[in-house]
Structure 1
Amino acid sequence: MSLPVVLVHGLRTSRTMWRAQLAALERVGRRAVAVDLPGHGARVAEPFTLDAAVDTVAEAIETVGGEAFVVGLSLGGYVGIRHAARRPGQVAGLLAASCSTQPHRLLLGGWSVGARGIALLPDRGARLNRFLVDLALPPDGARDVGAGGFALDVTNQVLREMTVATPLEDLARVEAPVWLVNGAFDHFRGEERRFLAACRDGRLVVVPRATHLVSLVQPARFTRVMLEALDQVDDRAGVGRSAAG
């Protein structure tokens, strides 16, 4: 049986951002589930914490059999890294996209000031958010990312939680193979070489002509990387089973 997949979305988005990848996984016969993190999507009323986010991934993996290949983008990538370090038995492989920068306090503080300012707008920034989404993404990607609604009020909760995130230390603890996937024009790829060096078993893929939301800007290329990674993990597991037999 092929390895199932759990997909974890980015900040302010929801599980609907993975429509293209879920469709591709269905076509190749992979069981897959995309989750909503606390404070997002159908769980928008819940407070966000990193521990609750890790629990969300863990619970999703239990529903698909107890072990999975985890795919996360941006916030979802950081959550995936943290989960893999803390629940190693659940993770056969990890694709962490658009999350190759440490959450430095100065960066988080500046972002938080901007988020508080946007929250003071009459619509809490909904029109600005919609404008930026339509500007940054192709039409299909914009529809997918918006289908589950935008979590306009969760940003500062996430930023507070990210002050305790330790992705480099966590990557050093992850035994499963790791794929770091970044868009060529992603502002979050500044420390990708440090992230790669921290991995026990890592590889780096840079997707041409893609920005931070790489799975939405270049869905076909991103999906190809994901499926190739899954095949490699399956091949490794098959070798292991043959040797054990």
Structure 2
Amino acid sequence: MSEAEVIKRSKVAVTRASLIKDLNKIGLAKGMTVIVHSSLSKVGWVCGGPVALISALQTVLTPSGTLVMPAHSADVSDPADWENPPVPSAWMHDIYREMPAFDPLRTPTCGMGRVAEAFRSFPDVRRSNHPIYSFAAWGAHRDELTRRHPLDSGLGKDSPLGKIYQLGGYVLLIGVGYGNNTSMHLGEYLSGMLEMVDRSSPVRINGRRQWVTYQDGDYHEEIFDQIGKAFEASNPGRDVLRMRHVGDADALFLSQKAIVDFTANYIRGTNQ
């Protein structure tokens, strides 16, 4: 969506101050650990763009809290797996030979949106070292969440998602739906029903670029909206799920453990 289109459909200018009010109203508070997924264009015309939203989140959480965003880079992967779009097979050799290794400081996010891309380079933000499933974090649990991100099962129980789960963290969806809720992949993993596949990416090992192969889940986020609707229909309670607006965007604030456990149980139930 162009900036002109965003301005046309925005009733008022969204500011850092108004965002702080909206975040407080939805339940975000000092000291919380939260993973945020967002669409800035849905928020409306934001004075200061992604910087204003990130600053508002940090202000509400304070340094005693922890702000996490996905910093995924699915394009740092085997081109044979690319489908949207695929590349000609004649290009494969050059891609394997020339693709830069994943670098947490330099590799841009892919398909994560303007807010997540801006956040990864903010002061005092650290990014985990997974070639396709990295996460960026700021605040009290930053180092705990981003260190030792295993290559295998990069969205599993030992990933940053699993650590947020152990900390009793939250998910905040701003202008996006359950299909963007990465934490539900942890539910797939914990269901015990997830099929595993091989993936490969270029990484640096002892200073040398190498292609490595690792185990990953065959994830199915296309079912997440269905699971999310079932979760809401289960009447989880206001302490587990809150719905309001952040700027002009529909927003969901929910317990990560609640949606992860519900996802795992839902998938087990449909596979019995």
TM-score by length of 1: 0.32
The structure whose residues are more often strand, as a share, is 2
> TM-score normalized by structure 2?
0.29
Larger Rg: 2
